[in-house]
Amino acid sequence: STSVVWIRNDLRLNDNIALAEAVKNLGEEDELLLLFHIHPELIREFDLQEDYFFQTVRKFHESSGPLHFIFGEEEEAFRSFFDTVTDAEDIYFNKAETGFGKERDERVLPVFEERGVRTHTYIDHPLHGAEEVTKKDGGLYQVFSPYFKQWQKLTKPPVVKLDTDKMKQHLTDRSGDFTDGEEKYRELTKAPLRKWEEVGEEAAEQRLTRFLDEPIYYYDEDRDIPSKDGTSLMSRYLRTGAISPRTVYHRVLQETDGRKRQDGVESFVRELAFRDFYHMVYYNHPEADDKELTEKFRGIPWNEDEEIFERWKEARTGFPFIDAAMAQMNESGWMHNRARMAVASFLTKDLLIDWRKGERYFNRKLADYEAASNIGGWQWAASTGTDAVPYFRVFNPVRQSERFDKHGDYIKEWLPELRNVPEKYIHEPHKMSEDEQKEAGCTIGEDYPEPMVDHKRMRERAIEIYKQKKD
């Protein structure tokens, strides 16, 4: 018979639970078929996010051996698959606990049942699954600190080993039967939107090696400075599954030197727990993608002006730190965490634009887009999440810039029009005199915009609106 491994956002051979288990259970005569399902919904708005994902699929395909592609709505696509692979008896996959993936899995399970195919599912994407970290009474946490305390106490799942030789012996190639899916895959991967340099399993492991070598010891301090290469850049690999959170966690423990500074190491582990926390919150609150978790903040009168939203998206707000951040994401598919907090606060509080719009825009552009973390981050910034920033704490975009990009290195990297602006004005270039603008080669209003809002006034307005809702 044939065992099918349904590959999804777990694009790696090492430490992939479903794959390792499927290989382990293969009998001598059994065949192993690797399957990838392209869902039309997931490629509807093909942008940087999808592009990076499919380039990772391509990388995985290069090392996995034959990978079979099917395309279409899940029920139809799988029925047709089982009509072709008539001896499929088992299907293995790492299940989705949240969002679209969860709904898709639920829709397709009856098809497996109807065809008499045994389903084997595992929790592989988070380090601890949504229901593993619970309070004494079995309930799920709403607040990160107590969650983290409990998270730390739990034994972490081990790294799983793949029997590569056995896998290779049993791999089957029936690509000839799946030309439609194959064609779709080729169409999606043949012309990447940008030159991605860090893609796939090998790149993930190398990057982690570099990070563990030295930067991790200073992570607690450097992680706030967007111009520094001080973070792990693991998010894109964790999102695509090019590396597993177990591998990251155990390598941190095994490869860091206990005699060196531990603040950075501890702070990094805490962030891995944050990923699990938001995963759990989204699992517990599936409505979070569309509804404010703090009920009293539902129905805020958001500004519907599309032109204002466009300026934020296109890095034309006139606040250099905000614009540098948006330019970084639009061009590179990644944005520094400090900058994500600042632009999300700016959109929701300074522009009073619906956080859902920002969340959806990030979904298109971020190579590391994870619904749970992104929704969590946006609801945090909009002060509507379970454990969010208080509504009256509004980030000052100029102050953020002065604190975290003191010399304007980050700004100058992403906004070439400000490269010759003197340090004194880099956070507020509109304050340059006409002569100074001339000298800097940057005319305000032409080369770079005036600030689009008065932060002080907008801050007061936002606080007032939130306050009215609260009371």
**Residues forming the site for ligand FAD (CB under 6 A):** 223, 231-235, 238-239, 271-272, 274-275, 278, 337, 340-341, 344, 362, 366, 368-370, 373-374, 376-378, 381
- Give least dist CB 238 to ligand FAD, A: 5
CB 33 → ligand FAD: shortest distance, Å? Answer: 31
Quote the least distance from Cβ 230 to ligand FAD, whole Å: 8
Give the nearest distance from C-beta 370 to ligand FAD in angstroms: 4
Residue (108 or 281) nearer to ligand FAD, CB: 281
Tell me the residue nearest to ligand FAD as measured from the CB: 377
Nearer to ligand FAD, 19 or 366 (CB): 366
Measured from the CB atom, is 317 or 373 closer to ligand FAD? Answer: 373
Residue 13: helix, strand or coil by DSSP?
A: coil
Smallest distance from ligand FAD to CB 363, Å:
8
Looking at the Cβ atoms of 377 and 429, the one nearer to ligand FAD is 377
DSSP code per residue over 379-411: HHHTT-STTPPPTT----HHHHHHHHSTT-HHH
Which CB sits closer to ligand FAD, 315 or 341?
341
CA distance 457 to 471: 21
Residue pair 345/395 in contact by the 8 Å Cβ criterion = yes
Distance CA 426, CA 407 (A): 8
- Reduced to 3 states, what is the DSSP secondary structure of residue 176? helix
Number of Cβ within a 10 Å radius of residue 400 = 23
- Structure tokens that stand for 327 in this block: 């330019």
Pick from 26, 236, 241: nearest CA to 124: 241
Do 219 and 231 meet the contact criterion of CB atoms below 8 Å apart? yes
Q: Least distance from C-beta 425 to ligand FAD, angstroms?
A: 28
The span from the CA of 238 to the CA of 252, in Å, is 15
> Measured from the CB atom, is 99 or 376 closer to ligand FAD?
376
What the block records as the tokens of 251 is 């390598």
